[in-house]
């Protein structure tokens, strides 16, 4: 299994540009999440999904959109990029087993908006 | 939603010394998870605690969940250079995602 994969690894955007961060998992997990991590800080939840066709907002959803057309893929769309969106973006997936919700994280996408 | 505060933000130790990080919440938590993130890496799950007063050990790591389920701690005995990284506590999980503390950065001096 590849686990959770993310592309691209790095990206520089100009203010006002748009882009899609790709995330895929091959573990057949129902739950998927997008987090952002600012330098030296913890992770904040942007959006999450409990299954194909179902998405919901997390703590910091403004400026982002998601879709979940398949169990495997959970892309994150940035519209009209702003410097405040400079961050590292992590995608994660999980499933429940015996009451444990261990989350598996992808390697991250490092985004700079200038 | 649930919020968790984590202290200290940074901890410098000499190799071989012990290390402890603390996680606190103003509300009762259903569970607490701990993750480790190496510099430049992604968070990796260490453990989940669910029961009041629970204590779990993984080699040199000891995890505790408070009796009131409002606090937790991670203790590392005799730190090694491989322990370097940031340790996060996180509450929740499942359908709603996790709420992370800001993490404790462990810096080890040889």
Q: For B69-78, what is each residue's pLDDT tens digit?
A: 999 999 999 9
For residue B35, is pLDDT > 90?
yes
Q: What is the mean pLDDT of chain A?
A: 95
Q: CA angle at residue B25 from B47 to A55, to 5 degrees?
A: 70
The stretches of chain B forming alpha helices (DSSP H) are none
Chain A residue numbers with beta carbons less than 8 Å from the beta carbon of B45 are 102-104
For residue B1, is pLDDT > 70?
no
Distance from C-alpha of B12 to C-alpha of B107, rounded to nearest angstrom = 5
Nearest chain A Cα distance for residue B17, angstroms? 24
For residue A98, is pLDDT > 80?
no
Contact A93, A32 (CB under 8 A): yes
Distance from C-alpha of A43 to C-alpha of A114, rounded to nearest angstrom = 22
Q: What is the mean pLDDT of chain B?
A: 95
Chain A residues bordering chain B (beta-carbon distance below 8 Å): 31, 33, 35, 40-45, 48, 50, 58-59, 90, 94, 96, 99-108
Overall average pLDDT of the B46-65 stretch: 97
For the record, the structure tokens of A71 come out as 């169990």
Are A31 and B33 a contacting pair at CB < 8 A? no
Give the residue from chain B lying closest to A54, CA to CA.
B95
pLDDT digits (tens, 9 = 90+) for A18-47: 999 999 999 999 999 999 999 888 999 999
């Amino acid at each position: 299994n590849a686990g959770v994969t993310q592309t691209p690894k790095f990206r520089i955007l100009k203010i006002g540009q748009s882009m899609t961060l790709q995330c895929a998992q091959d573990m057949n997990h129902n739950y998927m999440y997008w987090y952002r991590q600012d330098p030296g800080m913890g992770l904040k939840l942007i959006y999450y999904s409990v299954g194909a066709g179902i998405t919901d907002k997390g703590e910091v959803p403004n400026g982002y959109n998601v879709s979940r057309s398949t169990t495997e893929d959970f892309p994150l769309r940035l519209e009209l990029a702003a410097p405040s969106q400079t961050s590292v973006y992590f995608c994660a997936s999980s499933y429940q087993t015996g009451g444990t919700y261990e989350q598996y994280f992808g390697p991250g996408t490092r985004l700079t908006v200038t | 939603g649930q919020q968790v505060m984590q202290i200290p933000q940074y901890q410098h130790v000499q190799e071989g010394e012990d290390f402890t990080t603390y996680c606190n919440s103003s509300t009762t938590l259903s569970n607490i998870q701990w993750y480790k993130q190496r510099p430049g890496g992604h968070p990796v799950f260490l453990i989940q605690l669910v029961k009041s007063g629970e204590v779990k050990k993984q080699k040199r790591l000891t995890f505790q969940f408070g009796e009131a389920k409002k606090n937790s701690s991670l203790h590392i005995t005799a730190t090694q250079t491989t322990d370097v990284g940031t340790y996060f506590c996180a509450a929740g999980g499942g359908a709603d995602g996790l709420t992370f503390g800001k993490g404790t950065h462990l810096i080890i001096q040889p």
